[in-house]
């Protein structure tokens, strides 16, 4: 699937939007719970319906697979209730992987599970464990704060990821990394304040008040045609979405954002993630992308060990 592109007609008169099948790593919410509060959205006093969370997560997986994307599963670990938010475990660019170093002790052990998966399967997507799997020095929460585009990586800081981690990712990948300062604790990760709609053409959406004035200027200069999310969109976690260039997989409730995206020819796939939102995450938080080297895959993980099922 790597490198393949399918053209799909847009719903408006704009240019056709293109889908490149993606490879995602996700972790079932088998042990999902809100037993502590490490972001403003978490309240341990509110009970979690784990079966409902699992059904919602499964619907996200099914939506990806219907669109032609590959989903591998990371085995959940008892006692790590936030592992469902797999985006925070590692950042993979051109087969090079920077592992996470979590900011909070409650999630620190998740890094071991991600390390083990990437050590075992990284060679299959172009990563070479010894040379391309990087152990972090600075704190970073991976794709929670790293938004990968074709020409640049946008990197959040202010709450979870250290600016020093930006230099680590730049050195590993050879990509330009542009830091963006987050200033509202409700948007503690970049992926709840900014969304990549089309990685290949550098199309983004974002919520300006989540960023410092200087970072707002950077975004306005680099992305003059960006989609702007309003307060209601942002508070509904509407920007915690995954775009594949044609489809936008997004949580329900971001009415204005959906209207804007559809006007630009995107096909919006709304997904109920209300139970997962109790942990402060939605579609993107659940999704780590494996960005391979530009070469065909000739093998996959053994059955039951990471392959789709």
| pLDDT computed for residue 292 by the predictor | 87
pTM score of the predicted model: 0.89
Catalytic residue, candidates 23, 157, 268, 285: 285
Summarize pLDDT for 23-32 with one digit per residue, the tens: 999 999 999 9
What tokens appear for 295 in the block? 């070469």
Residues in the chain: 309
CA 203 from centre of chain: 15
| pLDDT computed for residue 171 by the predictor | 95
Q: What percent of the chain has pLDDT over 70?
A: 88
Nearest one of 233, 305, 219, 302 to 270, comparing CA atoms: 233
Question: Is 166 labeled as catalytic in the residue annotation?
Answer: no
Nearest one of 99, 78, 79, 80 to 88, comparing CA atoms: 99
Average model confidence (pLDDT) across the chain = 90
CA distance 168 to 172: 6
Summarize pLDDT for 174-194 with one digit per residue, the tens: 999 999 999 999 999 999 999
Q: Give the start-to-end residue ranges of the domains of the chain.
A: 20-289
Q: How confident is the model at residue 303 (pLDDT cuts 50, 70, 90)?
A: very low
Mean pLDDT of 105-125: 91
| pLDDT computed for residue 302 by the predictor | 39
Q: Using the predicted structure, report yes or no on whether residue 15 has a pLDDT greater than 80.
A: no
| pLDDT computed for residue 122 by the predictor | 80
| pLDDT computed for residue 126 by the predictor | 65
Of 117-121, 125-129, 237-241, where does mean pLDDT reach its minimum? Answer: 125-129
Q: How confident is the model at residue 16 (pLDDT cuts 50, 70, 90)?
A: confident
| pLDDT computed for residue 132 by the predictor | 81
Q: Using the predicted structure, report yes or no on whether residue 114 has a pLDDT greater than 80.
A: yes
DSSP string, 62-127: HHHHHTT-EEEEPPP-TT-TTTT-GGGSEEEETTEEEE-B-SSGGGTTHHHHHHHHHHHHGGGGT-
Mean pLDDT of 269-285: 98
Q: Using the predicted structure, report yes or no on whether residue 254 has a pLDDT greater than 70.
A: yes
Summarize pLDDT for 45-93 with one digit per residue, the tens: 999 999 999 999 999 999 999 999 999 999 999 999 999 999 999 999 9
CA 147 from centre of chain: 8
CATH of 20-289, one of 2.30.110.10, 3.75.10.10, 3.40.50.720, 3.50.50.60: 3.75.10.10
Mean pLDDT of 123-140: 75
Q: Using the predicted structure, report yes or no on whether residue 35 has a pLDDT greater than 90.
A: yes
Higher pLDDT, 308 or 173: 173
What is the chain's alpha carbon radius of gyration, rounded to the nearest angstrom? 18
Catalytic residue, candidates 69, 157, 166, 189: 189
Summarize pLDDT for 286-298 with one digit per residue, the tens: 999 999 876 443 3
Q: How confident is the model at residue 115 (pLDDT cuts 50, 70, 90)?
A: very high
Q: How confident is the model at residue 309 (pLDDT cuts 50, 70, 90)?
A: very low
Question: Is 189 labeled as catalytic in the residue annotation?
Answer: yes
Q: How confident is the model at residue 258 (pLDDT cuts 50, 70, 90)?
A: very high
| pLDDT computed for residue 152 by the predictor | 96
| pLDDT computed for residue 294 by the predictor | 61
Higher pLDDT, 305 or 229: 229
């Amino acid at each position: 699937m790597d490198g393949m592109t399918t053209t799909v007609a847009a719903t408006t008169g704009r240019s056709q939007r293109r889908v490149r099948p993606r490879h995602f790593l996700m972790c079932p919410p088998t042990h999902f719970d809100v037993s502590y509060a490490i972001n403003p959205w978490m309240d341990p006093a509110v009970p979690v319906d784990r079966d409902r969370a699992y059904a919602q997560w499964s619907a996200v997986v099914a939506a990806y697979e219907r669109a032609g994307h590959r989903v591998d599963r990371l085995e959940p670990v008892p006692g790590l209730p936030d592992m469902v938010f797999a985006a925070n475990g590692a950042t993979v660019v051109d087969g090079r992987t920077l592992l996470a170093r979590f900011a909070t002790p409650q999630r620190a052990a998740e890094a071991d599970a991600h390390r083990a998966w990437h050590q075992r399967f990284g060679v299959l997507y172009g990563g070479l464990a010894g040379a391309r799997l990087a152990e972090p020095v600075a704190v970073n929460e991976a794709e929670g704060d790293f938004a990968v585009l074709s020409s640049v990586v946008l990197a959040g800081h202010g709450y979870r990821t250290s600016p020093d981690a930006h230099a680590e990712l730049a050195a590993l990948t050879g990509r330009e990394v542009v830091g963006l300062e987050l200033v509202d604790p409700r948007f503690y990760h970049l992926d709840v304040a900014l969304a990549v709609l089309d990685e290949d053409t550098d199309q983004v959406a974002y919520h300006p008040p989540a960023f410092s004035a200087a970072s707002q200027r950077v975004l306005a200069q680099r992305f003059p045609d960006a989609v702007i999310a309003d307060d209601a969109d942002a508070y509904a976690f509407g920007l915690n979405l995954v775009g594949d260039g044609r489809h936008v997989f997004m949580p329900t409730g971001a009415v204005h954002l959906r209207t804007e995206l559809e006007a630009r020819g995107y096909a919006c796939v709304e997904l109920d993630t209300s139970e997962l939102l109790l942990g402060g995450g939605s579609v993107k938080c659940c999704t780590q992308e494996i960005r391979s080297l530009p070469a065909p895959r000739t093998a996959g993980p053994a059955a039951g060990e990471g392959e789709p099922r």
